[in-house]
A and B are shown apart, each in its own frame.
Chain A
């Protein structure tokens, strides 16, 4: 059995807006004599859009119609109909995420782009999608090593550290190619990011001055050293701390990782430009400095499989995961979008039916607002090899705990990590009226959001997109 799923990725970034359309091939990996195990066997990018400048109405407002026109036009050029699109994600990144109408644009665009196209944002998710798009996670898994991906864009660098294919942490630095902009012909500085003044160490040129590579060298060097410190290749963390994006944290890895670069500046690292003013910013100089840095030269380097398109390819090809292949659903209306996760603690999960009911009841109140309860998904770790009586106890506790939600008219959604969703769902279903959905093979945490699409592969699995908004491991 092999089935295809078309997936769209749209990235509305600080400077550019892009779209890709990918094909995900689903395959049953289990032998025919066991319980099925459907997985994504292949991801292939079928269409890459042009790279457009993100249209803005003013410094603080995105031109929503402009963005929509770009997407419409690119769909037309790709030859795919948006009704064919099975899944995908729109991500709004960098500076653009801080615009006044960012969420409205995002919501409208995800509805416009396809039935199950999910709206996402946040620096953690940006780092993760860029690293996946650049193939850093796959490289770490295949080579059993640590990989640190730097996605260096216009305003920020998104960091994601993977160890043996597992995400360890994400971070964000205010290091980018467009912190200083200048006129291509004259070299006159037109813009200096306030970030550079914050650092204080090396005074950047002021707007209106004529810049030379030599004059810019201290700034570029400072940015490069911050990256070196972030990778643990240079002792100390003064420059790293000076450039940490506000409200974020970063711990350099304990062992030197393989360093991987993506984002627009990565192109300037791997294929150096002769003309340093080619893009009217300091991207070329920054790329050159990283390329020539003795610290990075001493480390293992790896070219990202994608550079400037890493984030959009991540959103298109790598945002969708599949649930386990033994799941349960009854009367559920798909897609279920943007469900916050209520996760029980390990101790709470081990409790009796009564204890479970109480624990869920207490936590449900966290998610209630003036309007009362809202739709959410209950997250569990699950058990390794539970007895049936234990499953029944769990089911009773969950069913009773979720009863207030059901009475308020919401579906009972349970997301388990270990392989036990089908038996749990079947046991829970007779105890609960209304829609029931129980899926496994998906690890979620408090603070995450999950989107669940309509079943694929003969109804065996559900496409899910997990949006990690807070990542602390």
Chain B
């Protein structure tokens, strides 16, 4: 008996037992028409993704709402969202879907090439031909073909002190939101420490491991890569910096220093940039990165 037949049988039995097919019953007292939320007068809906979840508290008649809001300010978790019957309220459900969609979009969209040009970054691409290959073949996101290798070598020259790289990674939105400001702050910081910042390379379909190939190709003392983090429901715009002293193919992951959570609500792009500049300065001094740096 397949699933369809079982379903038909059960339905028939219910009809026989009850005399009629069950229909959901809503008692009059339980029925509350949905409250009208405020809608903008010009016919435009409010952008629900603009609401700061840390300041949104939806429980009706709370015992101590301000106290809960105080706690909420410490976490972006979806707490204190109230309920409609046994379910989320509509706004919570819609916001979840909006955030999920933003996360997916930022994985599947591309960093605008005009954005790359505007910032004066040099464009390169890994061995991946498209997003599908990028997602399914991490190994190919770490290496460059000969043509791109030549661009990288021409851009950085031989043995630069530092090679600055921006990679799209898993979130193009993160790069468009943070990388330009962060990179400007890094460059200014390096100059303040007397380190020539050199040009900036942009890598499409980029994995962190691409640093190692760049290290081998240029002999750079430090490679610093800003890369989009795998997006989540909290933010689709979080960026990390991976900074490695003398990276080369086969270098252990423990030799990388990472600064994560660079976004509007985390460490801001400019302040992270200043921190990274100092980090690079320290690495050049101590000739180490990752767990060796401490």
Contact with B along A421-445 (1 / 0, CB 8 A): 1110111011000000000000000
Shortest C-beta distance, A387 to chain B (Å), equals 5
- Which one, A385, A387, A422, contacts B275 given CB within 8 A? A422
Contact B275–A326 (Cβ < 8 Å): yes
Q: If the complex has contacts A427-B188, A430-B191, are A144 and B270 also in contact, measured as CB distance less than 8 A?
A: no
Interface SS majority for chain B: helix
Q: If the complex has contacts A385-B264, A429-B192, are A423 and B274 also in contact, measured as CB distance less than 8 A?
A: yes
CA distance A77 to B74 in the complex (A): 44
Contact A430–B275 (Cβ < 8 Å): no
Q: Is A237 an interface residue (CB 8 A)?
A: no
Q: Is B268 an interface residue (CB 8 A)?
A: yes
Q: Is A391 an interface residue (CB 8 A)?
A: yes
Shortest C-beta distance, B227 to chain A (Å), equals 13
Q: Is B269 an interface residue (CB 8 A)?
A: yes
Contacts of B264 in A (CB 8 A): 384-385
- Which one, B192, B258, B261, contacts A426 given CB within 8 A? B192
Complex interface residues of chain A between 387 and 431 (CB less than 8 A to chain B): 387-389, 391-392, 419-423, 425-427, 429-430
* B interface size (C-beta, 8 A): 30
Contacts of B261 in A (CB 8 A): 33-35
Contacts of A68 in B (CB 8 A): none
Q: Is A386 an interface residue (CB 8 A)?
A: yes
Contacts of B278 in A (CB 8 A): 422, 426
Q: Is A328 an interface residue (CB 8 A)?
A: yes
CA distance A299 to B254 in the complex (A): 57
Complex interface residues of chain B between 42 and 61 (CB less than 8 A to chain A): none
Contacts of B182 in A (CB 8 A): 388
Shortest C-beta distance, A390 to chain B (Å), equals 9
Q: Is A302 an interface residue (CB 8 A)?
A: no
Minimum CB distance partner of A421 in chain B: B271
Contacts of A425 in B (CB 8 A): 274
Shortest C-beta distance, B15 to chain A (Å), equals 56
Contact B192–A386 (Cβ < 8 Å): no
Contact A420–B192 (Cβ < 8 Å): no
Contact A419–B267 (Cβ < 8 Å): yes
Name A residues whose Cβ lies closer than 8 Å to a Cβ of B.
33-35, 144-145, 164, 326, 328, 384-389, 391-392, 419-423, 425-427, 429-430
8 CB < 8 A contacts A-B: A35-B272, A144-B70, A164-B67, A386-B270, A389-B184, A392-B188, A426-B185, A426-B278
11 extra interface residue pairs, beta carbon distance < 8 Å, beyond A34-B259, A426-B185: A34-B260, A144-B64, A144-B66, A326-B274, A385-B264, A386-B268, A388-B270, A420-B268, A423-B273, A426-B277, A430-B191
Name B residues whose Cβ lies closer than 8 Å to a Cβ of A.
64, 66-67, 70, 180-182, 184-185, 188-189, 191-192, 258-261, 264, 266-275, 277-278
